Amino acid sequence: MSTLAYLKSFFKDKDVASVTPTSRFCVRKVCRPIDFSKDITIVEYGAGAGVFSRYLLQHMTNDSHLYLFETNEILFEKLQQINDSRVTSYDQSVEFANQLLPKDIVGTVDFIISGIPFSFLDPDTKSSVLNQSYQLLRVGGEFLAYQTSGHLKDPLEETFGNVSTRWEWRNIPPMTVYRAEKR
């Protein structure tokens, strides 16, 4: 994806946290827990220009579904270029995910992948987004996130009761990769 689109977005939108697309190394590390041989439902927060989305669609079964959230106009426009019947896109905030997503998937989502900059959110919004995520996931479903620091560990531990972290150094900037499971 175009670094230019990210640069434009970074300077125009205070909620865009990166000037470059996520590296393939980070994408693979975040997606490592996903079993793509099964029909799955994935929700992606902060889908950007579709780096994760395209990777996921290349590996997902035909009966899987991907729900994308992106509030930045420039990046959302890039997402609209993905022409795949397995994709549903929202240009609204993940703060409203449980209200926007189909009611029948609440409690059945297999994975949530999040690149939204949680450090930019106030504590109440952060807590609300994580609690909604917990509600969206099925038991055994996982919240997978990537952030520029370790700031998300405690809030994830508080919401999910478990979290593991790893670093991906081959990304600009380096990323902390989080994994929390709904038990």
The CATH number assigned to the domain holding 119 equals 3.40.50.150
- Rounded-to-integer distance, Cα 49 and Cα 59, Å: 18
Structural domain span for residue 122: 3-181
pTM over 0.95: no
CB 178 within 8 A of CB 156: yes
Confidence of residue 128 (pLDDT cuts 50, 70, 90): very high
Residue 9, pLDDT score: 42
C-alpha dist (Å) from residue 105 to 21, 40, 100, 117, 150:
29, 11, 11, 25, 30
Chain segment 8-26, per-residue pLDDT in tens: 444 444 444 454 789 999 9
- Using the predicted structure, report yes or no on whether residue 91 has a pLDDT greater than 60: yes
- Using the predicted structure, report yes or no on whether residue 1 has a pLDDT greater than 90: no
- Using the predicted structure, report yes or no on whether residue 110 has a pLDDT greater than 50: yes
- Using the predicted structure, report yes or no on whether residue 159 has a pLDDT greater than 70: yes
Residue 20, pLDDT score: 72
C-alpha dist (Å) from residue 107 to 11, 76, 83, 110, 146:
37, 26, 27, 9, 22
